[in-house]
């Protein structure tokens, strides 16, 4: 056995022994800078055969995963991106954002700007006039918001109705403060995105700056996270519940911070006591147990705590395996892939090299980043000539789509011109050969992928995939006498509606 393998074995044994106690080894712990170090899976006790099987499963099932990074013992053992997502691109992490907002509250407490999690929420906003103020609302604490057990009238059903109503209001923080109480704080779990936005407002009150700027100063820069996107409401309050955009390797850094109890290098960024409390189950929410902005499952073996987001966004931490997994996607359930990852862990020490499996794994990683093979072009239906170049005006809709124009000049590629209610106009190529066409400058400057096909002589189906912005809208246009009926479904279940379109010039 080479000296290098011996050194890796000793490092693994030291790290894993500490991990089994719930606290990964701190001495000689590796801390990534701009880039992670990498390792063959076998050197970290993981089986390349099983990891390759995971990628094969993804390929065969056409799983809508965008990226997958696995870190064990501080080494990246797998880093894959899947077309049409492009490596090193920012990605919307959806409700993983809640876990970042919660972590920032822990840092604010550590900085002494907030007393503790028991601080009453109304005391932070003592200059505001709050509606429906009663004894229960006076009892509402930061911890109640962190654990999704505020007792506020906040409805998750109906596509997060309360969140939609909040976003339609002029002052989102005030909207949440004014919600009536329906339960005593701390007694009932209810998934509430608006409560996390209220926490972002608390952070701004306590620090005098936005959650984004505070995160840059006290979290992101310390972890070597250089580029993020995180929008704010009209009052400058960073979205506390979602819309944070990170790179996959930076998601891994957040998980690595959590794995080490909030410590990074020689600094305790998040108070260790707060981090310990954050990964304890405090409330039953939806179908799981919830800590401080983190999902906790202490019944699983091994124990896992996670940040979860719509569409398949995950930062998963398995302390006893010294493992962090970062995943992004466009409407898929990561559980099946996660099962492969846990199965691939064969040992706490290095395994023998498996060159054949390593080559297979490398080939699958390379293939995953490439577009699929083009289908043979099929003739366009007769109706496409009548539709081509015509502008179809859509009735008012929550998507903000105002009009669409299709141009059919070729059998393999079409062109879509979309007009939005806010004045934006997008002109994008659209693949007709089963290959999505990527074009730049979607929301947050990120690419958009479009493809379509004729389902029937008068029905055209196209997929408007925002890729790194998660949403993928499957739109079925049925044309009839110059007009159209449009069925729109967002793949993760956010939208399911029918829109009428009037044919114009």
Sequence ranges of the chain with CATH classification 2.40.128.20 = 383-503
State how far the Cα of 313 lies from the Cα of 75, in Å rounded to an integer: 21
Sequence ranges of the chain with CATH classification 3.40.710.10 = 95-246
User: Fold for domain 383-503?
Assistant: Lipocalin (2.40.128)
- Strand 313-318's sheet: what is its strand order? 75-81, 65-72, 323-329, 313-318, 304-309, 295-297, 288-290, 283-285
| pLDDT value, residue 13 | 37
Query: Which three-class secondary structure state does DSSP give residue 418?
Result: strand
| pLDDT value, residue 317 | 97
Question: Tokens 């990226």 sit at which residue?
Answer: 67
| pLDDT value, residue 399 | 86
Average pLDDT for consecutive 10-residue bins of the chain (505 residues)? 38 40 58 92 98 97 97 97 96 98 98 96 97 97 98 92 96 98 96 98 98 98 97 98 98 98 96 97 94 90 93 96 97 92 96 97 98 88 94 92 95 96 94 96 95 95 96 95 94 91 80
| pLDDT value, residue 504 | 65
The secondary structure of 158-212 as a DSSP string is: HHHHHHHHHHHSS-HHHHHHTPPB-S-TTS-----HHHHHHHHHHHHHHHSS-HH
Cut 0.85: pTM above it: yes
Just give the CATH number of 95-246: 3.40.710.10
| pLDDT value, residue 298 | 79
State how far the Cα of 421 lies from the Cα of 402, in Å rounded to an integer: 5
| pLDDT value, residue 20 | 39
């Amino acid at each position: 056995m080479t000296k290098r393998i011996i050194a890796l074995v000793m490092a693994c044994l030291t790290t894993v022994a500490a991990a089994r106690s719930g606290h990964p080894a701190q001495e000689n712990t590796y801390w990534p800078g701009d880039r992670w170090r990498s390792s063959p899976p076998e050197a970290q006790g993981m089986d390349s055969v099983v990891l390759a099987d995971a990628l094969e499963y993804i390929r065969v099932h056409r799983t809508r995963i965008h990226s997958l990074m696995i870190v064990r013992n501080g080494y990246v053992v797998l880093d894959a991106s899947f077309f049409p997502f492009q490596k090193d691109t920012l990605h919307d992490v959806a409700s993983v954002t809640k876990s970042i907002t919660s972590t920032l509250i822990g840092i604010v407490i550590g900085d002494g700007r907030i007393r503790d999690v028991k601080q009453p929420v109304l005391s932070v906003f003592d200059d505001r006039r709050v509606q429906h103020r009663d004894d229960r609302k006076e009892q509402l604490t930061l911890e109640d918001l962190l654990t999704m057990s505020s007792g506020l009238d906040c409805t998750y059903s109906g596509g997060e109705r309360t969140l939609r109503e909040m976003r339609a209001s002029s002052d989102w923080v005030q909207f949440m403060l004014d919600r009536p109480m329906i339960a005593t704080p701390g007694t009932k779990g209810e998934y509430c995105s608006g409560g996390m936005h209220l926490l972002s407002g608390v952070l701004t009150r306590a620090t005098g700056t936005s959650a984004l700027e505070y995160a840059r100063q006290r979290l992101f820069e310390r972890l070597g996270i250089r580029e993020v996107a995180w929008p704010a409401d009209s009052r400058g309050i960073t979205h506390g519940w979602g819309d944070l955009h990170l790179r996959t390797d930076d998601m891994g850094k957040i998980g690595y911070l959590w794995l080490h109890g909030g410590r990074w290098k020689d600094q305790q960024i998040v108070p260790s006591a707060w981090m310990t409390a954050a990964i304890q189950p405090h409330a039953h929410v939806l179908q799981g147990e919830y800590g401080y902005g983190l999902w906790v499952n202490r019944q699983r073996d091994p124990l896992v705590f996670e940040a979860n987001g719509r569409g398949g966004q995950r930062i998963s931490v398995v302390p006893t395996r010294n493992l962090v997994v970062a995943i992004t996607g466009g409407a898929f359930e990561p559980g099946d892939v996660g099962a492969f990852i846990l199965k691939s862990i064969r040992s706490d020490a290095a395994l023998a090299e498996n060159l054949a499996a390593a080559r297979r794994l490398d080939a699958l990683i390379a293939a995953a980043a490439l577009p699929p093979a083009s289908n043979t072009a099929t003739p366009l239906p007769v109706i496409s000539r009548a539709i081509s170049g015509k502008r179809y005006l859509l009735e008012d809709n929550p998507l903000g789509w105002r009009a669409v124009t299709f141009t059919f000049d070729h059998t393999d590629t079409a062109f879509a011109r979309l007009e939005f209610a806010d004045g934006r106009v997008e002109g994008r190529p659209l693949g007709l050969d089963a290959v999505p066409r990527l074009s730049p400058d979607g929301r947050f400057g990120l690419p958009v992928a479009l493809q379509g096909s004729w389902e029937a002589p008068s029905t055209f189906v196209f997929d408007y995939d925002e890729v790194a912005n998660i949403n993928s809208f499957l739109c079925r246009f049925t044309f009839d006498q110059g007009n159209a009926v449009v069925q729109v479904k967002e793949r993760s279940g956010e939208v399911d509606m029918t829109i009428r379109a009037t044919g114009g010039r």
